[in-house]
Amino acid sequence: MRIPALRARPSGPEEIGTDFVPIAEAARNEAPPAGIDPDRTLVWWRRAMPVLRAHRTVFLTSLVLAFVGLVLQVEIPNLLNQAITNSIERHTVPLGHYLWWIVGLGLVGGLTGYASRLFLFETAYDIEYDLRNIIYEHLTKMSFSFYDRVQSGQLISRANSDIRSVQLYLTFAPLIVVQCSIALVAFGFMLAIDVPLAFVAMATMPFVYWSGVRMRRSMFPVSWLIQSRLAEVATVVDENVNGVRVVKSFAAEGQQVRSLAAAAERVRWSYIKDADLRARFTPLVQNLPQVGLALVLLFGGYMVIHGTLGIGAILAFNAWLLMLQAPFMMLGMLIMMGQRAAASAGRIYEILDEQPTVTDAPGAADLVGCRGDVRFRHVDFSYREDDGRLVLADFDLHVPPGETVAVVGRTGAGKSTVARLLSRFYDVGHGGVELDGHDVRDVTLASLRANVGVVLDEPFLFSVSIHDNIAYGRPSATRAEVEAAARTAGAHEFIADLAHGYDTVVGERGYTLSGGQRQRIAIARTLLQNPPVVVLDDATSAIDVQVEQTIHAGLRASLAGRTTLIIAHRLSTISLADRVVLLDQGRIVADGTHDQLLASTPLYTEVLAQAAEAEAVRGSGAETTAATGDPTANERAAAYGALLEAARGEGRP
């Protein structure tokens, strides 16, 4: 039977506007025209060829212009040979004739070189743009389990230095090959002048090729090592920048400097090993063509002395060989770039080849008209498949539409996991999570998360204005709507006191604000989205009790009619709930109102007492809420401690 609240994706223009439409900004930039070939059996550069082929017109134009320019350069020594022979030795052609030809070819070669470099760099930056977008788009699709085990520094390194290595090789390697291929054109001119001397001039080329192969084989493992150790340094720096407050609070600057020094030392060793290999092979690759120059002078000079070869010819040979030195000097750099690019591509493909574990199922439908009926059906869940310990075991809970339920338990009981499964940050191992009777795995992720708003205990703010942070889920929201959400979350007053109000740009991760202020902005961000289901995961843990009471007054009105899950420790937060669920070791051990659990479940009293005591230790016990009549944290801890002792005295477990 088809349920009206669940609708398939729009199949025609007539359905647009009636189904779920994600709230997002329109893309300002074009998507990459091609991606990486998914065939893992291909060599790395063939997997990247679709990206290069997407820009083949401009790139091939660049290579053709580069080849034309090089051919014109190769023609100049030939004109020099003719000028010496016909104008200086035989006096049959005016010297000015060849002079103008050489000047003309030089000008045309300069123009083609300019256009070639312009198109080449345009292609290079287009490829870099495509690769960055391909990786970032893939990262946005990855599941939370991926980020649980991958270091951010590793991702940053692969999205920056590794991309640059691949881009450089894809664009500049063909150019270097074209420049080296000009040797064939020069060899043709040499053959036209003197066949034996031409073979003498090119006699060293097989040795150049052999040296290049040996160099490539030696450098690949070192190149991989360099890229991985650069990522280690990036990880250390990233963690120290993001955790600077922890580092300074423990006066651990010296320890972290030593950690970075150790990582940098490993990079230094890798670079020295790389330099050692290049020092062995690069001079051989670069100087072998000069041996060819010496052979030309030896044999060509002998032929000139005996009158079998003209002076202009030997000068032309020497000019061609000198012209070939630059490409072959770059051949060593090409081999080095190739090995580093191969290592970088392998690291990039490790990310791109890993598929997200939480995705839209085939035929997934959009969830619209959500009422907020939440049900967990005998859920078993563990964050790692190979971990035998379940975070949630046979978890069974029903939250009817409009009801507010508080989930309470000791640290590690699985409370936050409940919120993550409802938003499908992870998939359950056994059982199911349903919203309005639909398994969350059967609806699209975008529509599910648009209907379930989550406020985390550690809110993340972006380095933009407060207005943009609150409007993150609804970029088109007006200032009045943003302010209304901030008032409900108890954030308007402190925002208004800031120098630039709602236009104040917060620091990285919002650390220019206090923890409580960040939490209030996070609450406002979720309320502005106006979802039918709200999850507050210790959302007011960093807010003092007096301010919390003000927020609760606004939340009671705002949460009316919404299905709400509250992950809580404080009694003041639990008071928002119609019902309380007590978790212990991943299982529901009690379910009822606060008064019922307080009277019948000693474990509930113990959990509240421990939470109140921990709050008092943090220093919030010094705060008083006389204006609201709420006791201090110390008084609550004492009260719950007395209840706990009384329960034990009666022989309860």
Q: What is the pLDDT of residues 328-385, one digit of tens each?
A: 666 667 777 887 888 888 888 988 998 888 888 888 888 888 888 999 999 999 888 7
Determine the Cα–Cα distance for residues 463 and 508; give it in Å rounded to an integer: 5
Answer yes or no: do 215 and 318 share one domain. Answer: yes
pLDDT band at 317 (very low <50, low <70, confident <90, very high): confident
- CB count in 10 Å sphere of residue 53: 12
Domain-located, residue 37: no
Q: Tell me: the pLDDT tens digits for 474-490?
A: 888 899 999 999 988 88
Share above pLDDT 70 across residues of the chain, in percent, rounded to a whole number: 82
**495, exposed or middle or buried, with CB in 10 Å at 0-12, 13-18, 19+?**
buried
pLDDT confidence of residue 332: 65
pLDDT confidence of residue 120: 92
Domain boundary among 555, 584, 600: 600
Find the mean pLDDT for residues 433-445. Answer: 91
Determine the Cα–Cα distance for residues 584 and 603; give it in Å rounded to an integer: 9
Domain boundary among 600, 619, 641: 600
Sheet holding 404-409, edge to edge: 452-455, 533-537, 563-567, 404-409, 579-584, 587-592
Share above pLDDT 90 across residues of the chain, in percent, rounded to a whole number: 13
Domain-located, residue 501: yes
Three-class SS state of 640:
helix
Answer yes or no: do 114 and 254 share one domain. Answer: yes
Domain-located, residue 461: yes
Residue type (1 letter), 649: G
- CB count in 10 Å sphere of residue 603: 19
Q: Tokens standing for 461?
A: 């703010």
Residues 6+ positions from 615 with CB-CB distance below 8 Å: 569, 570, 621, 633, 637
Determine the Cα–Cα distance for residues 173 and 334; give it in Å rounded to an integer: 6
pLDDT band at 633 (very low <50, low <70, confident <90, very high): very low
Measured at the CA of 30, the angle between CA 346 and CA 32, to 5 degrees, comes to: 20
pLDDT confidence of residue 645: 57
Find the mean pLDDT for residues 397-421. Answer: 88
Residue type (1 letter), 393: A
pLDDT band at 10 (very low <50, low <70, confident <90, very high): very low
Answer yes or no: do 99 and 226 share one domain. Answer: yes
Domain-located, residue 360: no
Q: Tell me: the pLDDT tens digits for 25-81?
A: 555 667 788 888 888 889 898 999 999 999 999 999 999 999 888 888 888 888 887
Answer yes or no: do 293 and 378 share one domain. Answer: no
Answer yes or no: do 611 and 596 share one domain. Answer: no
DSSP letter string, 13-29: GGGTTTS-----PPP-S
Answer yes or no: do 309 and 392 share one domain. Answer: no
pLDDT band at 223 (very low <50, low <70, confident <90, very high): confident
Question: Looking at 73-77, 212-216, 227-231, 360-364, which range is the least confident one?
Answer: 212-216
- Report whether pLDDT(24) > 60: no
Determine the Cα–Cα distance for residues 564 and 427; give it in Å rounded to an integer: 21
- Report whether pLDDT(157) > 50: yes
Find the mean pLDDT for residues 506-520. Answer: 79
Domain-located, residue 16: no
Contact by Cβ (8 Å): 435, 443: yes
Domain-located, residue 25: no
Determine the Cα–Cα distance for residues 597 and 579; give it in Å rounded to an integer: 10
Mean pLDDT of the chain: 79
Q: Which H or E run includes 397? A: strand 392-399
Question: Looking at 206-220, 394-408, 617-631, which range is the least confident one?
Answer: 617-631
Domain-located, residue 616: yes
pLDDT confidence of residue 25: 55
**Structural domain for 616, as ranges:** 601-653
Answer yes or no: do 142 and 285 share one domain. Answer: yes
**135, exposed or middle or buried, with CB in 10 Å at 0-12, 13-18, 19+?**
buried
Answer yes or no: do 345 and 258 share one domain. Answer: yes
Number of domains in the chain: 3
pLDDT confidence of residue 8: 42
Answer yes or no: do 347 and 246 share one domain. Answer: yes
Answer yes or no: do 552 and 617 share one domain. Answer: no
pLDDT confidence of residue 241: 67
Find the mean pLDDT for residues 432-449. Answer: 90
- Report whether pLDDT(318) > 70: yes
Q: Tell me: the pLDDT tens digits for 274-305?
A: 888 777 777 777 677 778 778 877 888 888 78
pLDDT band at 16 (very low <50, low <70, confident <90, very high): very low
Answer yes or no: do 502 and 520 share one domain. Answer: yes
Find the mean pLDDT for residues 83-98. Answer: 78
DSSP letter string, 207-257: HHHHHHHHHHHHHHHHHHHHHHHHHHHHHHHHHHHHTHHHHHHTT-HHHHH
178 sits in the region (left: phi over 0; alpha: psi -120 to 50; else beta) called alpha
- Report whether pLDDT(632) > 60: no
pLDDT confidence of residue 14: 34
CATH number, residue 532: 3.40.50.300
Closest CA to 433 of 482, 386, 381, 391: 381
Domain-located, residue 363: no
Domain boundary among 286, 318, 352: 352
CATH number, residue 130: 1.20.1560.10
Answer yes or no: do 243 and 391 share one domain. Answer: no
